[in-house]
Amino acid sequence: MENKYNEKEARAYIEKYADHPPELALRVYTSRLIGSEESLVLHGGGNTSVKCRVANILDEEEDIIFVKGSGWDLGAIEPAGFPGLNLAYLRKLRPLENLTDEEMVNQFRTHMRNASSPNPSIETLVHSFLPHAFIDHTHADAIVTLTNLHNCESLLREVLGNDIGILPFIMPGFPLAKAVAELYEQNPAMDCIVLLNHGIFTFADDAKTAYDRMIHYVCLAEDFLEKKRGIEIKCAPADCPDTDIVLPLLRRAMSHAGQTFHLHVRQNDTILTALARSDARQLFVSGVLTPDHVIRTKNYPLFLDFSDDSSEKEMVRRIDRAFSAYEEQYNHYFDSQVEAKKVKRTGLDPKPRVMLIPGMGIVTAGATPKDAVIAADIAEHTLAAKLQGTLVGPYRELEESSIFDMEYWSLEQVKLGKGKKPPLAGKIALVTGGGGAIACGIGRKLLEAGARVFLTDIDEKRLDQVCAMLSENFGSLMVSKLVMDVTDESSVKNGFSSLIREAGGLDILVPNAGIAHVARLEDLDETTFHKVLDVNLMGVFQVIKAAVPVFRRQASGGNIIINSSKNVFAPGEAFGAYSASKAGAHQLGKIAALELASLQVRVNMINADAIFNDEGVSSGLWDVVGPDRMKARNLDPEGLKEYYRQRNLLKTEVLADHVGNAVVFFATNLTPTTGATLPVDGGIMAAFPR
């Protein structure tokens, strides 16, 4: 690992944060250096601190400890991410015999300099009880790899030297803080403490030295492990099972009590080669590297082997058996720990979060796409660490008692049930015609309701514009694009394969793609008529047909919401191709409602009218129709909008968001409705459903 400390950069941080103590500016700098290394910390892991003297509101100087706050990532931390606490007071807590986690957090909150600061790290007392100005703590892969091996203490001293301190795993909080302080006081010459199954602390009275020591010790461990690589076993990867089949089946097995999950596939040569080993199950179905990971990944992964070219029916049986056994084992672990510890806890769901599949790689599940990615990052690092560890000695996992303490930590349990989940949390939606105005509104409302949204279009430029706009507000993990031609069966099939590989399946399909053409029947040529039919009717047919196997494999229901048109019931003159194609798609939706009800898939239609644009994105239909309509009525663009406002009964403007609201209404299953038509047109009497 490279030591990235640079004196010029360090001075620049002091200048950049001149309104803060220079020690805090340097703390930000070296924290970011640490946070930029995934092999040191992952997704908010690790913590750092600095002690300095700061004047209070009375201009009295106080000893303050600034420690990483909850929710901040070291790689992007700012001074605001380091809540300051009264150091002298925190040190007075050390003589106490006991201090509950809840009371400890209360003491933190009541002795902060700024009441609006984030909660300090749960390991604040560890940082407080050590005397050094700068303390760095990471879960370095190389260090944790060594701590999870048999005879790890002698191995650590062999690799890192005899002057280090070593502690067994102790839950973060008051007991750990006291143990660290006592160990240090036994040998004040030490500059590093390793916590088994947890990580490493380095410390010094200046930022550079504390950081240098972290890199030094991690490099010693990395170099030792690297020298063992020469005897690593290499295997040819297994054949990849059909992801289009396996992933929806996994989503089926993961779903419970209305909860659906996002899946993420992590695949590279190292992962595939490792999982192809004959002893892969034995090596990798073992406990987490550090209990910090258990909240994200659970303690054990689930191993699923389809390398014998299983049929789909056999895949279902194999997945069901594997999940049943996994859940039984998890429930036994929970029950036995609750009984042994004489505590009351709310059980978490027993489903796995990490699945190891030879030929496919690591598949992770999360309530959000971000959760699934975080689990995959941790699982990938864990697999690599276990692989390296096998070259040194047998893996030594932490006992279940400590795993349970972390997984069912009271500070985590109090969060259960707090915060209402969005109604479409865990759902995956596909919206065709994604480069248009209506797709903006549909996508926005689905995202606000918690769904992950895939937008498809044949026009990549327009699609990029819409995806960029939605990603800016909802994040790139929640919005994905698929360049797809809904009229082409092969393109649709490839698009659905990409969707399944990226997210695992589909819950909400919104056929929205449509084109228009203005011509009286006597002037309408056959080629143009077929082109409109291909997009507006065949496009709906193609995506519904492609979605049915996914819904069937998931066995958790679903929604298809077709964006029809008020023209279904109230066609317009010189608009025959559009009106006929939309009417056909509408009728197709009713047939789908009949055929898919047995799968608990609901199919409903939305009849919208007069939606011109959305936040700078134009409607493709009105780009075609608008000029003719304006010319016929001698109106400018604003005049045309006003004309359509005045045409409907409510005298209102119909927006893309209104269509989005209608989609969300159907997708949330608030009523037991299928085969229905919902007008979103302000009230057009001629278009009343009948």
Helices (H), 187-256: 207-227, 243-254
Give the span between the Cα atoms of 138 and 36, in whole angstroms: 12
What does the block give as tokens for 394?
């047998």
Helices (H), 609-678: 620-633, 637-647, 656-667
Reported as half-sphere exposure (CB side, CA atoms, 13 A), residue 463 has a value of 20
Helices (H), 482-525: 489-503
CA torsion 215→217→221→222, rounded to 10°? 10
Under 8 Å between Cβ of 252 and 558: no
Clarify whether 395 is annotated catalytic.
Answer: no
Name residues whose C-beta falls within 8 Å of residue 580's C-beta, 6 or more positions apart in sequence: 533, 571
How many residues does this entry show for the chain?
690
C-alpha separations of 432 from 306, 473, 513, 610 in Å: 33, 20, 5, 19
Task: Write out the H or E segment, with its range, that includes residue 70.
Answer: none
The three-state DSSP-derived secondary structure of 141-176 is: HHHHHHHCECCHHHHHHHHHCCCCEEECCCCCCHHH
Give the span between the Cα atoms of 395 and 144, in whole angstroms: 11
Give the span between the Cα atoms of 420 and 543, in whole angstroms: 33
- Distance from chain centroid for Cα 426: 10
Q: Which residues pair with 16 in a beta bridge?
A: none
Under 8 Å between Cβ of 389 and 145: yes
Q: In what order do the strands lie in the sheet with 558-563?
A: 479-483, 452-457, 428-431, 508-510, 558-563, 601-608, 677-680
The residue from 17, 184, 578, 644 that is catalytic is: 578
Under 8 Å between Cβ of 41 and 33: no
Task: Write out the H or E segment, with its range, that includes residue 122.
Answer: none
What does the block give as tokens for 242?
């059909």
Name residues whose C-beta falls within 8 Å of residue 177's C-beta, 6 or more positions apart in sequence: 94, 123, 125, 126, 128, 129
Active-site residues, by number, are: 578
